[in-house]
Amino acid sequence: MQETAVRDVPPALGNPALARRLAGRRPAVFLDYDGVLSPIVERPEDAVISESMRTVVRDLATRVPVCVVTGRDRGVAQRLMGVDDLAVAGSHGFDIWTPTRGSLSDAYVARYTDLVAEVTERLRDDTRGIPGAHVESKRASVAVHYRLVDPADRDRIAATVRSVLDDYAGRLKLTPGKMVYELGPNVDWNKGKAVLYLIDVLGLDGDDVVPLYLGDDITDEYAFRALRDRGIGILVGDPDDPEVANRTTAAHYALASVDDVERFLATLT
């Protein structure tokens, strides 16, 4: 599949080619949370959506389908957004809930509760002596954040994660992100498959609907690829940001910042 250097991806704001693709069709909007609806912050619990962004998202959701697809725990994402009436796929799409049908994944997630709890406890023990390390427990996965870890100690975090993966070989998979390692059940599922599932479940597969996915992280590339030939992927990120600069992407368009996301969603509204 063709990918483009981030610096060469055309902007989404004010782009007549994008406007033509949307003309006469109803958008269905899928949004990552961190880095899209809220800026990336040092402490994950501080990533609270702004009042203006919340208003724009709420207004948009009264007009077109809006779904949040995030690596966050579903309940945490809903709490940080202060919005509880949108479809949400948490834990990279593993934990799916919609306002009309409730949870679509509780029974499936329950199969891995003991495994996730066991791995969470192991990671907390193994990282306890590393200043700045933060282990975030989720319903369907566990994340090890190292943004606040001294660069000299980050190899210790990587070694700890490798050791856990070796000890649980075949049972866990690693999902890397921006200054975070996410460990979850080794199942063939990701944000792209979650988006395609939601398109089907929510009846958004008609020719009059065009799915849009906005994301900033490597994990969002699964969704960009899934929609490459049937929707529109929009990468959120400044090409001068070292966490983005050297990447390629399957996204069609780009927005430079969370502020640009807010402006773009307002134009859709």
Task: Give the active site residues.
Answer: 32
Residue 43 has pLDDT above 90, yes or no: no
84-96: per-residue pLDDT in tens?
Answer: 899 999 988 889 9
Give the residue-averaged pLDDT of 147-172.
96
For the chain, give the mean pLDDT: 93
Predicted local confidence at residue 243, as pLDDT: 80
| Beta strands at 95-98 and 172-177: parallel, antiparallel or unpaired | unpaired
113-149: per-residue pLDDT in tens?
Answer: 999 999 999 999 999 999 999 999 888 899 999 999 9
CA 24 vs. chain centroid, Å, equals 28
CA–CA distances in Å: residue 39 to residues 33, 42, 73, 256: 9, 10, 17, 12
Looking at 103-220, list the stretches that DSSP marks H as alpha helix, in order from N- to C-terminal side.
106-110, 113-127, 154-167, 191-201
DSSP 185-197: E--S--HHHHHHH
| Beta strands at 87-90 and 66-69: parallel, antiparallel or unpaired | parallel
Task: List the one residue out of 59, 38, 68 whose CA is nearest residue 259.
Answer: 38
Task: List the one residue out of 70, 140, 88, 136 whose CA is nearest residue 111.
Answer: 140
212-234: per-residue pLDDT in tens?
Answer: 999 999 999 999 999 999 999 99
Give the residue-averaged pLDDT of 161-181.
93
> Distance between CA 119 and CA 141 in Å, rounded?
9
**Helices 51-61, 258-268: crossing angle, 10 deg rounding:** 30
Alpha carbon dihedral 161, 184, 229, 263, in 10-degree steps, equals -80
Residue 258 has pLDDT above 80, yes or no: yes
Give the residue-averaged pLDDT of 55-61.
96
Looking at the chain, list the stretches that DSSP marks H as alpha helix, in order from N- to C-terminal side.
16-22, 51-61, 74-81, 106-110, 113-127, 154-167, 191-201, 221-226, 258-268
Alpha carbon dihedral 88, 66, 211, 142, in 10-degree steps, equals -20
What are the residues facing 90 on neighbouring strands? 95
Predicted local confidence at residue 38, as pLDDT: 93
What are the residues facing 268 on neighbouring strands? none
Predicted local confidence at residue 1, as pLDDT: 61
Give the residue-averaged pLDDT of 24-42.
93
Residue 223 structure tokens:
């969704």
Residue with tokens 């009059």: 208
Give the residue-averaged pLDDT of 162-169.
96
The model's pTM: 0.89
Longest dimension (CA), the chain: 57
